[in-house]
C-alpha cells in the first residue's frame, strides 16, 4: 500500500488556501470591527485591570507604583472614605436596579400590547411618540423633568401635591423622593426602546396561533399568557439583560438631578444620590490629584458585577431551554 503520509501537509495547505479563497473576503470585511474591538474595548479593559493594581495619580511628576490589591481593599471596605462612599453607591444601585428593571419590562410590555392593537398611522404615531424620549440626550430628558417637578409651578409637582405626595419636601435632596424622581426620569426615557423591541417581537408571532386559540374559546388573557409571552421569551431575555446592563451603569441622570460637580458634592450629603459610575468619575477628577488606580479598581468591581449577573442569566436561560427541549 503506498505511503500517503507525505501528501498530508500538501493537502492541508490546499485546504487552507481553498478556505481563504472562499471565505477570506468575509473575514476581511469583519476585520475592522475586530481590530477596533481589540484596541478600544479589550485592550482598554486589560489596561484598566492592570492600572487598578497600581497607585496611579494624576498629580504632576507622580510615580506609578505597583501596590497589588490595595485599591480593591480600599474600595470594598468601610475603613476609608472612598470605600464607604463606594459601598453606599452599590447599595443605592441595588435598590435602583431591583425597581427600575422590572418596572421597565412590565410597563414596556403593557405598552407593546396596547400599541400592537393599532394599525396604520395610529400604530406609527404611538410607536414614535413613546420612542421619542429615548433619542433625547440624557441631560435634556433630565432637564424636562426638572422643569415638570419645579416646586410650585411644575405640572408633575402640582399633580403630586394635589395627591398629597412630596408637597413639603425637596425631591432632589430627600433620599426616598430622589429615588422616585430618578425612576420616573429613567423609565420615561428608556421604556420606548424596550417597547419598540417587544412590539417587533409581537409582530413576528404567527396570527394563526391566535386564530386557532379563538376557535378553542381562549380569552384575551389566556392568549397573552399561553401564546404571547412564550413566543416573546427570546426577545424578553434580550430586553432584560440589556436593561440590567444599562441600569447598572446609570450615571447621567442622577448626576444632573443631584447637581454633582466635585467629589465633595457627588450624590449629595452622605452620598444618598451617588452611584458607582459617579464615584468612578469623582475619583478621577477629585481635587488636584485624582486617584486613577482607585477609579480603575471601582470600574473592575462594577465590570465583575455586570459579568457575573449576566452570566447567571445566560446559564439560567440555557438550563430552562434544555429542560423544555
- Are residues 140 and 14 part of one domain? no
- Does 32 share its domain with 94? no
CA distance 279 to 286: 10
Written as nine digits, the cell of 229 is 409571552
* Domain range for 46: 5-51
Residues 186 and 193 sit within 8 Å (Cβ to Cβ): no
The reply to whether 47 and 94 lie within a common domain is: no
How does pLDDT run across 78-132, given as a tens digit for each residue?
Answer: 888 888 889 999 999 999 999 999 999 999 999 998 888 888 888 889 888 889 8
Q: Indicate if 291 and 179 belong to the same structural domain.
A: yes
First to last CA, the chain: 49
Q: Is residue 73 part of a domain?
A: no
pLDDT at 13: 61
> What CATH number is attached to the domain comprising 266?
1.10.3720.10
pLDDT at 30: 86
Residue 77 has what DSSP assignment? S
- Residues 156 and 240 both lie in one domain: yes
Instruction: Please identify every stretch of the chain with a pLDDT value under 70, giving residue numbers as ranges.
Output: 1-15, 58-63, 261-264, 286-290, 325
- How would you classify the pairing of strands 54-55 and 65-66? antiparallel
Are 42 and 94 in the same domain?
A: no
- Spell out the residues 6+ positions from residue 147 whose beta carbon is closer than 8 angstroms to its own: 154
CA 299 – CA 276 distance, rounded (Å): 8
pLDDT digits (tens, 9 = 90+) for 24-57: 788 888 889 989 999 888 998 999 999 999 888 7
| Residue 70 located in a structural domain | no
What angle is formed at CA 144 by the lines to CA 141 and CA 148, rounded to 5 degrees? 140
In the chain, how many domains are there? 2
Q: 54 — phi, psi (to 5°)? A: -125, 165
d(CA 235, CA 216): 27
Cα separation values, 131 from 125, 188, 190, 227, 269, Å: 10, 10, 8, 26, 35
Residue 65 φ/ψ, nearest 5 degrees: -120, 145
Amino acid at each position: 500500500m503506498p505511503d500517503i503520509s507525505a501528501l498530508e501537509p500538501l493537502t492541508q495547505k490546499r485546504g487552507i488556501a481553498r478556505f481563504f479563497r472562499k471565505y477570506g473576503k468575509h473575514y476581511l470585511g469583519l476585520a475592522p470591527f475586530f481590530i477596533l474591538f481589540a484596541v478600544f474595548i479589550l485592550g482598554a479593559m486589560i489596561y484598566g485591570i492592570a492600572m487598578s493594581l497600581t497607585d496611579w495619580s494624576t498629580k504632576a511628576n507622580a510615580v506609578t507604583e505597583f501596590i497589588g490589591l490595595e485599591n480593591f481593599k480600599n474600595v470594598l471596605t468601610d475603613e476609608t472614605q472612598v470605600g464607604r462612599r463606594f459601598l453606599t453607591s452599590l447599595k443605592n444601585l441595588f435598590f435602583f436596579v431591583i425597581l427600575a428593571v422590572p418596572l421597565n419590562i412590565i410597563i414596556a410590555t403593557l405598552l407593546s400590547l396596547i400599541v400592537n392593537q393599532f394599525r396604520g398611522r395610529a400604530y406609527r404615531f404611538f410607536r414614535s411618540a413613546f420612542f421619542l424620549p429615548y433619542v433625547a440626550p440624557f441631560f435634556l430628558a433630565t432637564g424636562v423633568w426638572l422643569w415638570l417637578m419645579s416646586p410650585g409651578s411644575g405640572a408633575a409637582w402640582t399633580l403630586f401635591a394635589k395627591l398629597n405626595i412630596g408637597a413639603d419636601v425637596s425631591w432632589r435632596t430627600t433620599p426616598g423622593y430622589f429615588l422616585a424622581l430618578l425612576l420616573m426620569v429613567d423609565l420615561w426615557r428608556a421604556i420606548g426602546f424596550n417597547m419598540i423591541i417587544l412590539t417587533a417581537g409581537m409582530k413576528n408571532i404567527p396570527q394563526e396561533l391566535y386564530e386557532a386559540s379563538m376557535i378553542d374559546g381562549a380569552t384575551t388573557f389566556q392568549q397573552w399568557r399561553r401564546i404571547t409571552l412564550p413566543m416573546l421569551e427570546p426577545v424578553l431575555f434580550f430586553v432584560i439583560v440589556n436593561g440590567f446592563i444599562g441600569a447598572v451603569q446609570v450615571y447621567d441622570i442622577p448626576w444632573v438631578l443631584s447637581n454633582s460637580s466635585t467629589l465633595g458634592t457627588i450624590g449629595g450629603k452622605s452620598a444618598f444620590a451617588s452611584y458607582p459610575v459617579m464615584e468612578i468619575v469623582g475619583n478621577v477628577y477629585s481635587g488636584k490629584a485624582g486617584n486613577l488606580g482607585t477609579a480603575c479598581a471601582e470600574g473592575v468591581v462594577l465590570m465583575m458585577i455586570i459579568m457575573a449577573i449576566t452570566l447567571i442569566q445566560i446559564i439560567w436561560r440555557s438550563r430552562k431551554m434544555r429542560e423544555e427541549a
